Chains A and B, each alone.
Chain A
Amino acid sequence: MVNNINPGKKRSRYSAFQLFSKGLTQEDWPEIWSEPDMKDSYEVVIIGGGLHGLATAYYLAKNHGITDIAVIDKNYIGAGGSGRNTSILRSNYLTPEGVKFYDRSLKLYEQLSSELNFNLMFSQMGHMSLAHDDGGMRTMQWRAQVNQVQGVDSKVISPDEIKELVPYIDISKNTRYPVLGALYHPPGGTIRHDAVVWGYARAAHEMGVHIIQHTEVTGIDVENGRVTRVRTDKGNIATGTAVNCTAGWASLISDMAGVKMPVTTSPLQAAVTEPVKPFLGTVVVSGTLHVYVSQTDRGELVFGASVDPFTSYSMRGTLEFVEGLATNVLSLMPSLSKMRLLRQWAGLCDMTPDYSPIMGETEVEGFYVDVGWGTYGFKAGPVAGEAMAETIATGKRPEIIQGFGLDRFSSGQLVGEKGAAAVGH
């Protein structure tokens, strides 16, 4: 262990000079966060050390001066959805609530590399959602209109324009699902998802946040309708505030506090191919074919799909998925038929009935949720963290997440985002 640093201690910034001098001296880089001993009490305990948990901790410390925070994960940080998504960022949603929210997130992502002093490799390569039938074209037009009113760069383009951007795509009329047009969203793109998690962890750690890995939460004590304690397999923590940021496991954690969730857990599978020369300059998505494709900086193609057809907590990949994926990808880009898949994996998605998240307070005082992120949680990380931090610090949900409360299900004010949030419909 080199230059072990304690939470709250300033360390040197990454810079071109540092890179140069380390290259000369061959010195090891210092660790970017340490594992402190868990204390008996914290002001805020965040359950789930993924992007959302760490971002919440970061913005609590940065914007509200609350640094007595523990972020607890039963695995290593970023082991769940944060490290399993296909790292696509975009803000071309369908409802005004959704567009405003994800656009704020994209704006935060654009600044994030310099803010965190960590190279997140954000590439705004553009994002294209294909339409294969009249219904699809109608939805794309609808989304383009909503996006433009909200000031988001988004428009419908023709098959010829698609072919110009992605020469390898098959736009002929005699395929089973001919390409009729696409919603093109230039600011969309991909980012390195692990770096986002590490960047937030490093910055939060620097401000004094304790990151506690490999520690499982086993219970939440509630007395007189208030959170009093979080139990873990390494000891108990007295706290007045617990935040549930556990995505696919959200129901299990909320159950501990006695809060029922309108959430079901489904696996979503993804796969990556061997690396090839750069040929795909935008993210290509097809809702009809349940697939999205992007090429990484290393040249691998990353494929994602819709959630599995039935709910499950199993993260094992299936052959049906690979077969279906290959069929769908090849009908879009037949020239990929000789590509070989390197690996496939699955992550757990906490799906809600309206495909919008559930954020804010619950009926148990001091128990907050930031769940229901389904298949779209990664792109919302920064804004979710910022809004949750404000909710926790001020006790009031900010305007931007007003529509996403748990109470919307009994008041009937659902935020129907399925047309833009999912590829499987």
Chain B
Amino acid sequence: MMQINCPWCGLRNATEFKQHGEKPPRPDVANATREQWADYLYFRNNTWGVVKEQWFHSSGCRQFFMLHRDTFANKAIRSEGDVR
């Protein structure tokens, strides 16, 4: 099983976590066009290889964090506590 290093709890099984995925920047609410909203809500890079995405330690400390993960090798590389 893939193991993920939670910045607060340490190495845990992937089943404890929920993927929240790529985190595109939120468009400017006052001026964003339809296309920008569609891009933010639906369109994803779906990268083959290393991605940086948001994960949630749902069955643990319930904190969000950023994870660098290889989507082909199915391997967690490193985690960052800073979600911004």
Contacts and interface: CB of A to CB of B under 8 A. Distances in A.
A251 B18 contact: no
A418 interface: no
A318 B34 CA distance: 40
In the A-B complex, the 3 residue pairs with the smallest Cβ-Cβ separation, listed nearest first, are A251-B46, A314-B74, A310-B19
Interface in B8-40: 14-15, 18-19, 21, 34-35, 37-39
Interface in B65-82: 71-74
B44 interface: yes
A412 B42 CA distance: 11
Contacts of B43: 260-262, 409
Interface in A406-425: 409-412
Residues of A in contact with B, size category: 20 to 34
Interface string A273-317: 000000000000000000000000000000000000111111010
B41 interface: yes
Interface of A: 251-252, 260-265, 309-314, 316, 318-320, 353, 409-412
Contacts of B14: 310
B40 to A, nearest CB: 11
A264 B19 CA distance: 12
- B interface, size bucket: 20 to 34
Interface of B: 1, 14-15, 18-19, 21, 34-35, 37-39, 41-46, 48, 71-74
Most buried by A among B15, B39, B46: B46
B69 to A, nearest CB: 8
A267 to B, nearest CB: 9
Contacts of A251: 44-46
Contacts of A409: 38, 41-43
A404 to B, nearest CB: 14
Contacts of A410: 34-35, 37-38
B19 A309 contact: yes
Contact of A252 (B44, B48, B73, B74): B48
5 contacts: A260-B43, A262-B44, A309-B15, A311-B71, A412-B34
Nearest to A352: B42
B34 A320 contact: no
Contacts of B19: 309-311
Contact of B44 (A263, A312, A320, A411): A263
A133 B79 CA distance: 39
Nearest to B44: A264
Contacts of B72: 312-314
Contacts of B73: 314
Contacts of B21: 264, 311
Given A310-B19, A311-B21, A314-B72, A261 B46 contact: yes
